[in-house]
Amino acid sequence: MAYQRSSQPGRPPQRRNRFRIGGPRKPSFLEEHGIDYIDYKDTKLLLRFLSPQGKILPRRLTRLNKIQQTALTTAVKRARHLALIPFVTDTEHY
């Protein structure tokens, strides 16, 4: 971790945020296209948020907020249970 030196002795050093410098955040795919509801039957949309192995991508890659990521996870699990999308894909063909 990168720490800044404290100007006053006796105070603990303050942490700096390495990841977010500033500026406006980039909108998510759902915000760009005006999608309000993630439907489990929309497999084309769900496959966009899955890795080639079939894993759900994390929030830092999908740029979704917490509520959207939870809805995505629920929709993917429902679609997997109904066999609309596979649980695991074969990685040898990629």
Domains (range + CATH), the chain: 38-94 (4.10.640.10)
Whether pTM exceeds 0.85? no
Residue-wise pLDDT for 10-69, tens only, equals 776 666 666 666 778 888 899 999 999 999 999 999 999 999 999 999 999 999 999 999
* Tokens linked to 70: 């939870």
What is the total residue count of the chain?
94
